[in-house]
């Protein structure tokens, strides 16, 4: 049975039993605490917890998920994959244990001919929470299972909670017995790979209190509404139904594995290590394909870093299989063909996806080439020093700076007969993770704990009136101070205000939040920020300027008109630049992110090379022509399917409901799905001034622009600078470039002449220094102060010149000078002096110690410095004493 067919049967089964079929949410999670959708229930959490009223009593979905916490296990076990699909059925206070168990057993054991999955009852085991006698009895009655095939397990395995106070409840899991060829008898309690968990039913019925870990917490009582959350692993069922050994061999994954094996000239099943690498490749290519189809692009942070890691692990695995050339064009095409039946978007968007993937592979192959050169040098230096262990900081540098995988470093070092100081490497990695974790924690907003909003959200959605109004009368539904719901907020306090309706725009879709006020009887609030902490709810962060505001008070939201005008100009300007980019560069230049506020916008787009000055000018000209032509801006609401049929562009990473807002500028010239605020005609934008274009990764570029009056002010400032230059140089404006070029050329010529004079002046000191040479301890020594010099390079030139003139007999030159108000000493030795034991590095350290600083270097040339110019004579005396000794 094909994976797509299992997918279809699941949805058909529950749809026929009054469940609302909910399409898979994006892999990019709405939850601020998650990078990705990691479980099938994640999109339903607000309904399961009661934070948001459920729009349906029961639902079903097949949800795309990504988990990378067990990435090192991928390929080694039959069931660890970074991308997987979770089939779920959910009840929000509707049915409970008996119906959930009945549905699960019915779907699993109904024959394939009758629309079920066709599992034999004799092959199925279940586990229940050890104290859940109710579930045990239902399984006996509904499934007719004997007691020995219903195993009771503890809280650590069969009890669900979020890990925090809130909903909790026992679980019941269903396992398939693969038979004695796969392990020992005894059921799931043996924790053996013979028994594969295929379905988990969570009976969310209790309220848990504080505690730690999976089992150390108390149950406070029953939930007012009991919910059902179940999940069946689609890949696990698929590999069992298809009669293959693991999830990497199912129809949606195996084609990539086979293609990788063919490219590497390997036979799958012949060598265990090769098999693991082939499974890693098959898994990671599919995961990367699905992530990019949901708008994730490779980068060095967050989701983009996870994607980049998957892609690089794939390249590395192919390299370990002996393939050092690009393979993504074949691997990604194979994955597209395997996944498009279930997810057509991977085919329709493959041009964009493949361009990102191929560019990332090419960049990493170059990285491997440069990293290999650095590693080879480090290995040679380690061997030359007679050491057997490569320094941990070298391995960390390769990993952190060059993206060179540690396991590749380990392998290549081993080939050279070296180990790697893994302890030092791991310590550096741990420090980096700690810094990253602290940074991420610092960046979390006060909106991260969402439970405080549940009461307000239960009152209904906040009505946004800002498309048509700049002032809206409403009332205060709630106040939050320091994460706690309060009744009042007084002058000087910062609080969050929840209103029934608001004209103030909440930050979303790349548009910054509105500025403005909230006013009411006896109080005035300055709006600092506007956000959507949960779907359908708008929260205003305010500073209470005067008076006291209380829950229930009348409130009028007032938008700052000038700020809104600038924000509308910037957001419409973003759409115009996007359209201009695509007109100039083609449809692959697709927006991948944006930010706009009054007077400013930035737009990130998929492209892998810098834009020439001519291309930038063309984009800017097309944009301003669109403004000059006063194109009509029309906004419409319509079903998502209709909007897409009209060619409206959906931007990656954005979430869209069934009804969407379409913004047209000049009809189809620019047609995008967008919930932001916009001008009514393009002429209102005023002006667009592209001020920069830069890289934000190997596959993304960024343009920044000033808009409206800010664009004019910037150009006016440039005009003033040009006018000032023209006046100072007494040159017409149009001749300024040539005039400045001539001045720069003249300046460089003068600088070269000055440098030559200074070098000659330095070298004029050589005869006198040679005359000062004296014998100490069998060595000719020049130890002199040379006064003030422009740079340490001048001093180095002087030292090396004197050393050359002293001939082949043992000679040491130690010269000191004042450079930039600081003492600098440089010591040089010739071969004969080094043979007699004189080392420049050691002598420089002696001098630097007297100068109050540090120094060192090689045996032939070294440098030191310090803080006290007055100590130079003493420092040179110390060098003389060391030589004499």
Report the pLDDT value the prediction gives residue 445, as an integer from 0 to 100.
36
Least confident window among 163-167, 217-221, 468-472: 163-167
Report pLDDT digits (tens) over 566-607.
Answer: 999 999 999 999 999 999 998 888 888 899 999 999 999 888
Q: Which residues are annotated as a binding site?
A: 571, 575, 674, 678
Please give the CATH number for the structural domain made up of 765-884. 3.10.310.40
Architecture of the structural domain at 3-248? 2-Layer Sandwich (3.30)
**What is the residue whose two structure tokens read 């629309």?**
115
**Banded pLDDT at 438 (limits 50, 70, 90):** low
Q: How far apart, in whole angstroms, are the C-alpha atoms of residue 428 and residue 537?
A: 43
Q: Which residue has the higher pLDDT, 176 or 855?
A: 176
Report the pLDDT value the prediction gives residue 199, as an integer from 0 to 100.
95
Report pLDDT digits (tens) over 648-684.
Answer: 887 655 667 788 999 999 999 999 999 999 999 999 9
Report pLDDT digits (tens) over 604-638.
Answer: 988 888 999 999 999 999 999 999 999 999 999 99
Report the pLDDT value the prediction gives residue 355, as an integer from 0 to 100.
87
Q: How far apart, in whole angstroms, are the C-alpha atoms of residue 24 and residue 22?
A: 7
- 35-61: average pLDDT: 87
Residue 691 burial (C-beta neighbours within 10 Å; 0-12, 13-18, 19+) = middle
- Is residue 448 scored above 60 in pLDDT? no
Report the pLDDT value the prediction gives residue 439, as an integer from 0 to 100.
46
- Is residue 6 scored above 80 in pLDDT? yes
Q: How many CB atoms lie within 10 A of CB 756?
A: 10
Whether residue 46 contacts residue 167, with contact meaning beta carbons closer than 8 Å, is answered with no
**Banded pLDDT at 503 (limits 50, 70, 90):** very high
Report the pLDDT value the prediction gives residue 440, as an integer from 0 to 100.
41
Q: How far apart, in whole angstroms, are the C-alpha atoms of residue 523 and residue 475?
A: 13
**Banded pLDDT at 716 (limits 50, 70, 90):** very high
Q: How many CB atoms lie within 10 A of CB 83?
A: 25
Residue 706 in tokens: 């000033």
Classify 185 as helix, strand or coil: coil
Residue closest to 84 by CA, chosen among 28, 42, 38: 38
Q: How many CB atoms lie within 10 A of CB 405?
A: 21
Report the pLDDT value the prediction gives residue 506, as an integer from 0 to 100.
95
Whether residue 28 contacts residue 653, with contact meaning beta carbons closer than 8 Å, is answered with yes
DSSP string, 476-541: EEEEEETTEEESEEETT-EEEEEESEESSPPSBTTBPPPPEEEEETTEEEEEEEEEEEETTEEEEE
**Banded pLDDT at 435 (limits 50, 70, 90):** low
Report pLDDT digits (tens) over 168-186.
Answer: 899 999 999 999 999 899 9
Q: Which fold has domain 564-715?
A: 3.30.980
How far is residue 851 CA from its own chain's centroid?
48
Classify 671 as helix, strand or coil: strand
Q: Which residues contact 23 (CB under 8 A, 6 or more apart)?
A: 61
* C-alpha torsion sign, points 534, 538, 543, 546: negative
Q: How far apart, in whole angstroms, are the C-alpha atoms of residue 506 and residue 524?
A: 19
**Banded pLDDT at 381 (limits 50, 70, 90):** confident
Report pLDDT digits (tens) over 677-707.
Answer: 999 999 999 999 999 999 887 678 899 999 9
- Is residue 441 scored above 50 in pLDDT? no
Task: Give Cα separations from 722 to 364, 727, 736, 814 (angstroms).
Answer: 44, 9, 8, 52
Report the pLDDT value the prediction gives residue 490, as an integer from 0 to 100.
92
Classify 113 as helix, strand or coil: helix
Residue 13 in tokens: 């089964």
Report pLDDT digits (tens) over 548-561.
Answer: 999 999 999 999 99
Q: Which residues contact 611 (CB under 8 A, 6 or more apart)?
A: 619, 693, 701, 703
Q: Which residues are annotated as a binding site for Zn(2+)?
A: 571, 575, 674, 678
Global pTM?
A: 0.68
User: Where in the chain are the domains?
Assistant: 3-248, 254-441, 451-559, 564-715, 765-884
Q: How far apart, in whole angstroms, are the C-alpha atoms of residue 865 and residue 845?
A: 9
How far is residue 847 CA from its own chain's centroid?
49
Longest dimension (CA), the chain: 110
* C-alpha torsion sign, points 437, 438, 444, 450: positive
Most confident of 29-38, 157-166, 272-281: 272-281
Report pLDDT digits (tens) over 296-347.
Answer: 888 877 888 889 889 988 998 998 899 989 999 999 999 999 999 999 989 9
Whether residue 50 contacts residue 450, with contact meaning beta carbons closer than 8 Å, is answered with no
CATH class of the domain defined by 451-559:
mainly beta
């Amino acid at each position: 049975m094909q994976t797509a067919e299992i997918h279809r049967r699941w949805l058909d089964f529950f749809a026929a039993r009054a469940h609302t079929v909910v399409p898979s949410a994006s892999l990019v999670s709405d939850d601020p605490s998650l990078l990705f959708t990691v479980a099938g229930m994640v999109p339903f959490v607000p309904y399961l917890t009661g934070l948001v009223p459920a729009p349906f009593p029961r639902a079903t979905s097949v949800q795309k998920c990504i988990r990378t916490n067990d990435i090192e296990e991928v390929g080694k076990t039959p069931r660890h994959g970074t991308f997987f699909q979770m089939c779920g059925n959910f009840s929000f206070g509707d049915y409970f244990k008996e119906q959930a168990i009945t549905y699960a057993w019915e779907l699993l054991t109904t024959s394939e001919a009758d629309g079920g999955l066709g599992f034999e009852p004799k092959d199925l085991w279940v586990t229940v929470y050890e104290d859940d006698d109710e579930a045990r009895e239902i399984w006996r009655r509904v499934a007719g299972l004997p007691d020995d095939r219903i195993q009771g397990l503890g809280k650590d395995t069969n009890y669900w909670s979020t890990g925090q106070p809130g909903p909790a409840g026992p679980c019941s899991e269903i396992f398939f017995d693969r038979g004695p060829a796969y392990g020992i008898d005894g059921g799931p309690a043996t924790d053996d790979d013979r028994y594969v968990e295929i379905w988990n039913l969570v009976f969310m019925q209790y309220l848990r209190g504080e505690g730690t870990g999976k089992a150390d917490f108390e149950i406070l009582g029953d939930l007012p509404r009991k919910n059902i959350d179940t999940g069946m692993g689609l890949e696990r069922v698929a590999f069992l139904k298809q009669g293959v050994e693991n999830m990497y061999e199912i129809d949606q994954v195996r084609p990539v594995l086979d293609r990788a094996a063919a490219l590497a000239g390997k036979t799958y099943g012949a060598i265990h290590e090769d098999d693991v690498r082939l499974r890693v490749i098959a898994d990671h290519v599919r995961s990367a394909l699905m992530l990019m189809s949901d708008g994730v692009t490779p980068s060095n942070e967050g989701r983009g870093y996870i994607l980049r890691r998957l892609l690089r692990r794939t390249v590395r695995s192919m390299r370990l299989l002996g393939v050092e050339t690009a393979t993504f064009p074949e691997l990604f095409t194979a994955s597209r063909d395997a996944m498009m039946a279930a997810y057509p978007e991977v085919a329709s968007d493959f041009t964009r996806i493949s361009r990102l993937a191929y560019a990332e592979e090419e960049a990493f192959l170059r990285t491997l080439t440069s990293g290999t050169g650095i590693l080879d040098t480090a290995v040679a230096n380690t061997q030359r020093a007679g050491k057997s262990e490569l320094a941990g900081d070298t391995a960390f540098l390769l990993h952190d700076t060059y993206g060179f995988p540690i396991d590749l470093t380990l392998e290549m070092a081993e080939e050279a007969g070296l180990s790697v100081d893994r302890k030092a490497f791991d310590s550096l990695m741990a420090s980096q993770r700690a810094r990253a974790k602290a940074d991420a924690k610092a960046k979390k907003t006060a909106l991260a704990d969402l439970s405080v909003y549940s009461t307000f959200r239960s009152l209904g959605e906040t009505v946004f009136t800002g498309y048509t109004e700049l002032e809206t009368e409403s009332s205060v539904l709630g106040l939050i101070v320091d994460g706690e719901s309060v009744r009042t907020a007084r002058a000087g306090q910062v609080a969050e205000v929840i209103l029934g309706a608001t004209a103030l725009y909440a930050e979303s879709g790349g548009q910054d939040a509105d500025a403005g006020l909230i006013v009411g009887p006896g109080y005035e609030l300055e709006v600092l920020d506007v956000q959507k902490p949960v779907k359908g709810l708008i929260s205003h962060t305010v500073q209470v300027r005067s008076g006291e505001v209380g829950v229930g008070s009348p409130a009028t939201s007032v938008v700052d008109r000038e700020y809104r005008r600038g924000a509308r100009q910037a957001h419409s300007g973003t759409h115009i630049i996007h359209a201009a980019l695509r007109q100039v560069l083609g449809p692959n230049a697709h927006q991948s992110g944006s930010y706009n506020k009054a007077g400013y916008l930035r737009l990130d787009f998929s492209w892998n090379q810098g834009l020439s000055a001519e291309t930038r000018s063309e984009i800017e000209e097309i944009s301003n022509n669109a403004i000059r032509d006063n194109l009509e801006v029309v906004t419409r609401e319509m079903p998502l399917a209709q909007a897409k049929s009209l060619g409206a562009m959906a931007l990656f990473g954005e979430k869209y409901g069934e009804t969407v807002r379409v913004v047209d500028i000049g009809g189809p010239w620019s047609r995008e799905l967008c919930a932001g605020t916009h001008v009514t005609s393009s002429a209102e934008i005023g002006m667009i001034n592209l001020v920069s274009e830069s890289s934000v990764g190997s596959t993304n570029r960024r343009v920044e622009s000033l808009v409206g009056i800010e664009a004019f002010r910037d150009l006016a400032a440039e005009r003033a600078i040009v006018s000032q230059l023209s006046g100072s140089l007494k040159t017409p404006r149009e001749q300024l470039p040539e005039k400045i070029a001539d001045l720069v050329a003249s300046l460089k010529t003068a600088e070269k002449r000055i440098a030559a004079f200074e070098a000659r002046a330095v070298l004029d000191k050589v005869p006198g220094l040679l005359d000062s040479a004296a014998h100490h301890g069998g060595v000719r020594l020049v130890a002199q102060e040379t006064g003030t010099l422009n740079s340490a390079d001048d001093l180095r030139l002087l030292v090396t010149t004197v050393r050359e003139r002293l001939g082949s007999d043992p000679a040491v030159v130690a010269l000191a000078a004042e450079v930039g108000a600081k003492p600098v000493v440089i010591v040089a030795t010739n071969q004969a002096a080094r043979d007699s034991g004189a080392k420049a590095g050691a002598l420089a350290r002696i001098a630097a110690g007297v100068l109050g600083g540090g120094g060192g270097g090689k045996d032939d040339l070294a440098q030191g410095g310090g803080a006290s110019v007055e100590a130079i004579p003493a420092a040179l005396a110390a060098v003389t004493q060391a030589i004499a000794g």
